[in-house]
Chains A and B, each alone.
Chain A
Amino acid sequence: MSRPGSAPFLRRTFDGDRLLAAVCLGVPALGLVVFFLYPMVIVFLRSITLGDGSYGLANYAEVLSTRGFWRATRHSMVMGLSTAAISVLLGFVIAHGLHRCAFRGKALIRAAIVLPLLAPSLVQALGLIFLLGRNGLVNRLFGTDLDIYGFWGLLIANTLYALPQAVMIIGAALALSDARTYEAAEVLGASPWRQFRDITLPAARFGILNAAFVTFIITITDFGNAAVIGGDYSVLATEIYSQVIGQMNFNLGAVVGIMLLLPTVVAYVIERQASKRQEGRGGSAAVPFVPTPSAVRDLPMGALSFLLAAAIALVIGIVVYASFVRLWPYRFDLTFRHYAITLAGGYSSLWTTIYVSLIAATGGTVLVFLLGLGLRRAPAAVARPIQMIAVMPAAVPGMVLGLAYILTFNSTATPLHLLYGTAALIAAVNFYHYHTQAFLTVMTGFRQLPVALEEAAGSLGAGLGRIATGVIAPFLAPMLISAFFFLFMRSMVTLSAVVFLTTPKLTVASVTIMRLDDAGLTSQAAAFSTVVMLVVALALGSMKLLMRRLGRAAHGAGAG
């Protein structure tokens, strides 16, 4: 990634810049090693630890010899590929609609599309069952006999969860584009279809491939949807659950956890090969693209986007409604009584969760930004392995990551055990669990960063620090903001890893929701989820407001 053109200025500010670049790369890389690689090495060691404490491959032999494992593998692959295909296609439609079409009400689509990210997993599962279940609204209204449990239900649920992440990553690729390229094409007489095929699609390729990669791996590692709506469609994540939770056999679960990394590595290598050719495409002074109205393009794109947004809103909305209903689906009179929650710690966990999520989102965004910056300056031999590790975390099921954190941070062998039972560790697990998505979103932005922009600033004597804060950060602002919001939303509601790290004194909202549901109080769990969603929405709204105000202030100061 080194560029000979920038050598003279690099030499001038040699020491400071080199050091800064090393720190940029070193700090996030160290974080990845301590909070991801090291725990995963421990998982690997457990996967080769035999019953008598010796090491060997017998666990692998045992898992690979079962019929159930291969069936689950086949199911996981089919499910992962189908979900990736559908969510990338639909995700592109929505991202394209939002960034490249001219129609009203985009804010509504934006709001609906993030709902699955800020909804606790219980909400999505309940919503689908309330709507499409055997005793769901659709069957009752139309007298049909739909049965969603199994492949189709799981596909819908997984797509709902994957879609917003596909939109986020593809959106990062479509948000930054140079209007002048399109103007030139227009002048040369290229049809809108030609422009789409030859300018838009190639520019978005890195985003599309990344989105396909992410949606594939989050689907094969997700347990929640499979358990609730997958019926008998066994997948690898359910195999892990059955070993680890059902049979208290972490070592065999670890085998499956390690095996899940394989398709991820393969998918990533393919993705890297396919996206090799795109680098720094943007011009040095890109003029932001503003779509002009075009009925042929905008009407179908807008209609489809609205349809998808409405479907998502319906799934979440029905659970919010049900939280006010006396006894779903038998007594529909409205009541607030499910909101009087006293069990499972009541509402007290909410504030801890907000605090933890803010740490995870702020720290995470800074680290991911530094990592992207450091990778740009690092030689390929260093950058490649780090990049590989940076995209791995999504391939680890939350349950495996949570237990790996116990094994790592509860061992008195290292000073790391001081972190065990702290809010800091919960923030860390939340960030590293979702590291892949945040990293790829920001990297998609970095990919489009015009090389000339950086070089111009460098030749004017700006050091790396100035370039990073004055040039790169503003250019990447949309991606950094969406990574921040993504990390914040997921931290507020993620359960699978955190459930193993909460303590009697430190618990989070998602665990309270699980405990309420465990206690049979599904309506209270829905009510608590509604409060969580409301709090997240309010937090997002006020942060957006604050950012707009800060942006305006900074702009004003700059002008003055």
Chain B
Amino acid sequence: MKKWIRSTAAALVSLGLAGMASAGSITVYTALEEEEIADYIAAANKAMPDIEINVLRLSTGKLGARLLAEAANPQADVIWGWAVTAMMDPRILEMLEPYQAKGSEVLPAAFRDPEGRWFAPTGYMGAFCVNTERLRQKNLPMPKSWKDLEDPAFKGEVLMPDPNSSGTGYLHVVALLQTLGEKEGWAQLRRIDPNIAQYTSSGSKPCKAARAGEYTVGISLAFTALKSIEAGYPLAMVFPEGGVGYELEASGLMKSSDNKADAKRFLDWTMSPEAVALYGKFKALVTVPGVKPSAAAVKAGLPADVGTVLAKIDFAESARRQREIKKKWKELFGR
């Protein structure tokens, strides 16, 4: 009987300790994409074999909810590659400790926090996903700009993420407001509203629905478009004329970390030449000067210099005015 109790107690203790970190290990929260994470972590393990790197991958929004809910007793040592618009939330900035990762000084000032709480060597862009087969069936012209989507022929054929639920939706709205100016930006959104079949809660869903032939145009992400084209879907990726919205992927050190030495080594590694070389393989948008886009990206239609298609975005403003813009959008277009 005693033996039974002891083994049960031992099992309970091991159950209880299962999630606890040990020395030489760090926990990293990230919203980067699965495939790149696998490659980066394999390389990082080789470069730092003495650190056990535990990665939790969640989408941008879910990661934010989790970080805030855990605020009383944060579990992560590092936030790695997370939307900068979310990172700039005062409640998140409060959790971060200023740290100038080795190598991050090469980044232009726009891509790092003046107080050193985050830096962003990579980013992701929006794009239109156009199903070429459905486009042909419906006899529609290939849309090249937001203005082209005003055409009544596109009625019920366009999907867009709801900026209130999706960071991707917000990225597109901000790009319009900042490139066209406040007044014209809202007017542009109003003119395409009648053609939008649904405002979705997920940012990648419009592209997935377009590639499956459910709708013709999905206002979505370049990443999803690239992956879909690679997989063989009849899809074209379009960057709307006048500038497409984008988001930076920022990293930072958690104040609460109990293994800051290793956390800092990991952050340094993300700016190492080895890591930067890998960004070239996966990312459409690298802010480290001198990195060329990958061959696959060029093949899928990315220009050699992505800077030519990007909108000019002021991220500080985009983060600061978030609540107000989302609220106004909901008043105008909420369904």
Name A residues whose Cβ lies closer than 8 Å to a Cβ of B: 66-68, 129, 133-135, 149, 227-228, 231-232, 234, 238, 241-242, 244-248, 250, 326-331, 342-344, 399, 403, 406-407, 410-413, 417-424, 499-500, 502-506, 515-516, 518-522
Structural contact, B212 and A133, CB atoms closer than 8 A: yes
Most B C-beta atoms less than 10 A away, residue of A133, A412, A499, A520 = A520
Expressed in whole angstroms, the Cα–Cα distance for A342 and B164 within the complex equals: 33
Expressed in whole angstroms, the Cα–Cα distance for A405 and B208 within the complex equals: 32
* A contact residues around B93 at 8 Å (CB): none
Structural contact, B165 and A424, CB atoms closer than 8 A: no
Structural contact, A247 and B15, CB atoms closer than 8 A: no
Most A C-beta atoms less than 10 A away, residue of B66, B133, B205 = B66
Most B C-beta atoms less than 10 A away, residue of A135, A246, A343 = A246
* 19 further contact pairs, Cβ within 8 A, besides A241-B165, A500-B65, A506-B19: A227-B201, A228-B205, A231-B197, A232-B198, A234-B334, A242-B164, A246-B163, A248-B61, A342-B38, A403-B65, A406-B69, A407-B69, A423-B18, A499-B58, A500-B66, A504-B55, A516-B34, A518-B204, A520-B204
Closest Cβ neighbor of B57 among chain A residues: A515
Q: B213 at the A/B interface (Cβ < 8 Å)?
A: yes
Contact digits for B163-178, partner A, Cβ 8 Å, 1 yes 0 no: 1111100000000000
- The verdict on A421 contacting B20 (CB below 8 Å), with A410-B73, A518-B59 known, is yes
* A contact residues around B205 at 8 Å (CB): 228
A–B Cβ pairs within 8 angstroms, 7 of them: A241-B165, A247-B323, A248-B65, A406-B70, A410-B75, A413-B72, A422-B16
Expressed in whole angstroms, the Cα–Cα distance for A242 and B66 within the complex equals: 15
Structural contact, B202 and A227, CB atoms closer than 8 A: yes
Expressed in whole angstroms, the Cα–Cα distance for A316 and B202 within the complex equals: 23
Structural contact, A343 and B65, CB atoms closer than 8 A: no
* A contact residues around B15 at 8 Å (CB): 422-424
In the complex, what's the smallest C-beta–C-beta distance from B332 to chain A, in angstroms? 12
Structural contact, A129 and B204, CB atoms closer than 8 A: no
In the complex, what's the smallest C-beta–C-beta distance from B157 to chain A, in angstroms? 10
The interface on chain B, measured as residues whose beta carbon lies within 8 A of the other chain's beta carbons, has a size of 66
Expressed in whole angstroms, the Cα–Cα distance for A68 and B58 within the complex equals: 28
Closest Cβ neighbor of A342 among chain B residues: B38
Expressed in whole angstroms, the Cα–Cα distance for A329 and B134 within the complex equals: 12
Structural contact, B59 and A250, CB atoms closer than 8 A: no
Structural contact, A245 and B165, CB atoms closer than 8 A: yes
Structural contact, B197 and A68, CB atoms closer than 8 A: no
In the complex, what's the smallest C-beta–C-beta distance from B314 to chain A, in angstroms? 20
* A contact residues around B64 at 8 Å (CB): 245, 248
In the complex, what's the smallest C-beta–C-beta distance from B250 to chain A, in angstroms? 15
Structural contact, A418 and B16, CB atoms closer than 8 A: yes
In the complex, what's the smallest C-beta–C-beta distance from B94 to chain A, in angstroms? 13
Closest Cβ neighbor of A404 among chain B residues: B69
Structural contact, B75 and A68, CB atoms closer than 8 A: no
In the complex, what's the smallest C-beta–C-beta distance from B33 to chain A, in angstroms? 6
Structural contact, B34 and A344, CB atoms closer than 8 A: yes
In the complex, what's the smallest C-beta–C-beta distance from B116 to chain A, in angstroms? 23
Structural contact, A417 and B201, CB atoms closer than 8 A: no
- The verdict on A505 contacting B224 (CB below 8 Å), with A247-B323, A522-B208 known, is no
* B contact residues around A134 at 8 Å (CB): 213-215
Expressed in whole angstroms, the Cα–Cα distance for A344 and B73 within the complex equals: 26
Expressed in whole angstroms, the Cα–Cα distance for A25 and B134 within the complex equals: 61
Contact digits for B10-23, partner A, Cβ 8 Å, 1 yes 0 no: 00000110111000
* Other-chain contact of A412, B19, B69, B73, B335 (Cβ < 8 Å): B73
- The verdict on A343 contacting B35 (CB below 8 Å), with A133-B214, A515-B57 known, is yes
* Other-chain contact of A519, B20, B34, B54, B232 (Cβ < 8 Å): B34
- The verdict on A330 contacting B62 (CB below 8 Å), with A227-B201, A246-B164 known, is no
* A contact residues around B323 at 8 Å (CB): 247
Structural contact, A422 and B18, CB atoms closer than 8 A: yes
* Other-chain contact of A250, B28, B68, B201, B330 (Cβ < 8 Å): B68
* B contact residues around A326 at 8 Å (CB): 232
* A contact residues around B133 at 8 Å (CB): 330
Expressed in whole angstroms, the Cα–Cα distance for A272 and B304 within the complex equals: 68
In the complex, what's the smallest C-beta–C-beta distance from A90 to chain B, in angstroms? 28
* B contact residues around A343 at 8 Å (CB): 34-35, 38
Structural contact, A410 and B62, CB atoms closer than 8 A: no
* Other-chain contact of B70, A129, A238, A410 (Cβ < 8 Å): A410
Most B C-beta atoms less than 10 A away, residue of A242, A412, A419, A506 = A242
Structural contact, B72 and A411, CB atoms closer than 8 A: yes
Structural contact, A247 and B70, CB atoms closer than 8 A: no
Q: B56 at the A/B interface (Cβ < 8 Å)?
A: yes
* A contact residues around B65 at 8 Å (CB): 244-245, 248, 250, 399, 403, 500
* Other-chain contact of A422, B19, B134, B330 (Cβ < 8 Å): B19
Expressed in whole angstroms, the Cα–Cα distance for A502 and B322 within the complex equals: 29
Most B C-beta atoms less than 10 A away, residue of A248, A342, A411 = A248
Structural contact, B61 and A246, CB atoms closer than 8 A: yes
* A contact residues around B228 at 8 Å (CB): 520
Closest Cβ neighbor of A126 among chain B residues: B212
Expressed in whole angstroms, the Cα–Cα distance for A242 and B224 within the complex equals: 22
Q: Which 9 A-B pairs have the closest CB atoms?
A: A421-B19, A504-B54, A135-B213, A245-B61, A246-B165, A406-B69, A232-B335, A520-B227, A519-B34
Q: B27 at the A/B interface (Cβ < 8 Å)?
A: yes
Expressed in whole angstroms, the Cα–Cα distance for A407 and B69 within the complex equals: 6
Expressed in whole angstroms, the Cα–Cα distance for A234 and B334 within the complex equals: 9
**A-facing residues in B186-228 (Cβ within 8 Å):** 197-202, 204-205, 208, 212-215, 223-224, 227-228
Structural contact, A67 and B334, CB atoms closer than 8 A: yes
Structural contact, A248 and B19, CB atoms closer than 8 A: no
Expressed in whole angstroms, the Cα–Cα distance for A413 and B35 within the complex equals: 38
Q: B326 at the A/B interface (Cβ < 8 Å)?
A: yes
In the complex, what's the smallest C-beta–C-beta distance from A380 to chain B, in angstroms? 36
In the complex, what's the smallest C-beta–C-beta distance from B22 to chain A, in angstroms? 11
* B contact residues around A420 at 8 Å (CB): 19, 75
Closest Cβ neighbor of A227 among chain B residues: B201
Q: B5 at the A/B interface (Cβ < 8 Å)?
A: no
Expressed in whole angstroms, the Cα–Cα distance for A417 and B17 within the complex equals: 11
* B contact residues around A227 at 8 Å (CB): 200-202
Structural contact, A503 and B330, CB atoms closer than 8 A: no
Structural contact, A329 and B213, CB atoms closer than 8 A: yes
Structural contact, A406 and B66, CB atoms closer than 8 A: yes
In the complex, what's the smallest C-beta–C-beta distance from A527 to chain B, in angstroms? 14
Q: B182 at the A/B interface (Cβ < 8 Å)?
A: no
Q: B98 at the A/B interface (Cβ < 8 Å)?
A: no
In the complex, what's the smallest C-beta–C-beta distance from B136 to chain A, in angstroms? 14
Structural contact, B162 and A242, CB atoms closer than 8 A: yes
Expressed in whole angstroms, the Cα–Cα distance for A469 and B167 within the complex equals: 55
Expressed in whole angstroms, the Cα–Cα distance for A227 and B162 within the complex equals: 11
In the complex, what's the smallest C-beta–C-beta distance from A110 to chain B, in angstroms? 33
Structural contact, A505 and B59, CB atoms closer than 8 A: no
Most B C-beta atoms less than 10 A away, residue of A66, A133, A247, A413 = A247
Closest Cβ neighbor of A518 among chain B residues: B59
Q: B185 at the A/B interface (Cβ < 8 Å)?
A: no
In the complex, what's the smallest C-beta–C-beta distance from A520 to chain B, in angstroms? 4
Q: B99 at the A/B interface (Cβ < 8 Å)?
A: no
Q: B267 at the A/B interface (Cβ < 8 Å)?
A: no
* A contact residues around B208 at 8 Å (CB): 520, 522
Contact digits for B250-286, partner A, Cβ 8 Å, 1 yes 0 no: 0000000000000000000000000000000000000
